[in-house]
Amino acid sequence: MAQRPNLELRNAISRAGLSGDALARRVNTIGAEAGLRLAYGRASVSQWLSGARPRPPVPELVAEALARRIGRHLTPADIGWPAPEGTRGSAAWWEADPLDLIADLYHRESSGGTTAHPVYNMAALDVPMWAPSVHRSPYRPHHPVRIGQTEAASATAMLHLAIQADDAFGGGAMRSPLVGYLATMVGPWLRSRANGEVRRRLLTSGARLSCLTGFMYFDDGLHGAAQRYYRIALRLTAESGDTAGHSVTLRAMSSQACALGHPRAALHLAQAGVTALSEVSAPCTRALLLGQLAVVHARNGEQQQATHLLAAAEHMLRRTTGPRCRDNGYYTASLAHQRADIAASSGDRSAAVTSLAECLRHLPEAKRRYRALCLARLAELKLDSGCLDGAAADWHRFLDDYPALRSGRARAALSRLRARLRPFARSSTTRDLLHRAVTVSEAAAHFPASRR
């Protein structure tokens, strides 16, 4: 049977004002956000227009690429690729059962393949306002088994363990076990009978484990899956009434949107996080949320607003940190990092370098991945300022930490190191550093990486 030309796709491409080459490039870029290495070109787009249907998840990638250009949500069905008969439809993400979503993501992670990691979706960044009394989970406990404080304590202990592992070894080190723990332990517990206090504790831990899992995917460059775990965390915080967890998750989503080059969406999410935060929330948490809001204002070119918000965050942190604050160093370091981001956005490299150096001075020793990424960024800024020797020293410190990390962001930083130093390859300092970078990279290749 002859293929039918895809007129819906042709019309969408026309509305988007894209050439075949431009659409293919956008599809490749969005595929990279899902951990896919694609190399589509104009010829592929011509085949799609002629009626060829690409394999999943390409229809979803094409729909997302066109949606971002047009400015409204599109599905594959909207561009001439309806779901095959028998395929189960999906509800809007806020109405879907979060435990079903956890199970589906666990299946994807376990099965691998090209559909293992979903597509980052701009339309899903439009999150509802905080309203826990309205947005309740559609599931109801149905397991006959009754759970208690033991299960709640287990989830809390797993959260602390996973945070420590992520800080020390990167998101790829423990992501898969954590995905399995959420699906096979926390999910069934949340479907079991429990008293109100146990259920609240499990919902809170489940939300924070989901947010951490999302961050692990983000750290490994798998942004579609990260987004879905962040959304699950939002749903669970709404169920438990955890405004602090809700706001922290929105901050994480804002940072992700910023990293992917969507500053207006990042601003919306950061503002929603600050708005949702309760007045009784920890001042340290409020300071970091204000700092993130300042960062995205700076990314949007609103420097005066960024400076005002950063000053408010710093004032709040000065009033609340001290000997009783267990994470005093971390909060001080994080705010210094935000100050560096704002300075870099305004083109003030010197101030950014000073703030990153302050971040490193206060950063706890256990935060290996954070330190490594901060050192790599500091080296890049120093090189941009013409300080090759200073950059090389910081990159050597980055390489000290790198072998222990399973992190997509760290791998990207290593790739940038090698690319940035090639023009200086005749320098003896640079040759030694490049040789070490190659050696470290080859050694890391012998260890199993996280599933991509």
What's the CA gap between 436 and 209, in Å, rounded?
36
- Torsion angle in degrees (nearest 10) through CA of 327, 330, 331, 333: 150
What's the CA gap between 181 and 220, in Å, rounded?
19
What's the CA gap between 121 and 74, in Å, rounded?
10
**What are the pLDDT digits (tens) for 67-94?**
999 998 899 999 999 976 545 544 566 7
- One-letter identity of residue 80: G
Task: Tell me the pTM.
Answer: 0.92
Cα angle for residues 221, 225, 227 (degrees, 5° grid): 95
Q: What local confidence, expressed as pLDDT, does residue 134 receive?
A: 45
Q: What local confidence, expressed as pLDDT, does residue 327 receive?
A: 63
> pLDDT by residue for the chain (452 residues), tens digit each?
558 999 999 999 999 999 999 999 999 999 999 889 999 999 999 999 999 999 989 999 999 999 999 998 899 999 999 976 545 544 566 778 899 999 999 998 888 765 667 899 998 888 877 765 444 554 555 666 789 999 999 999 999 999 999 999 999 999 999 999 999 999 999 999 999 999 999 999 999 999 999 999 999 999 999 999 999 999 999 989 899 999 999 999 999 999 999 999 999 999 999 998 877 678 888 999 999 999 999 999 999 999 999 999 999 888 775 544 556 789 999 999 999 999 999 999 999 999 999 999 999 999 999 999 999 999 999 999 999 999 999 999 999 999 999 999 999 999 999 999 999 988 888 999 999 999 998 887 766 555 44
Q: What does pLDDT average to over the chain?
A: 90
Q: What local confidence, expressed as pLDDT, does residue 326 receive?
A: 53
What's the CA gap between 265 and 111, in Å, rounded?
32
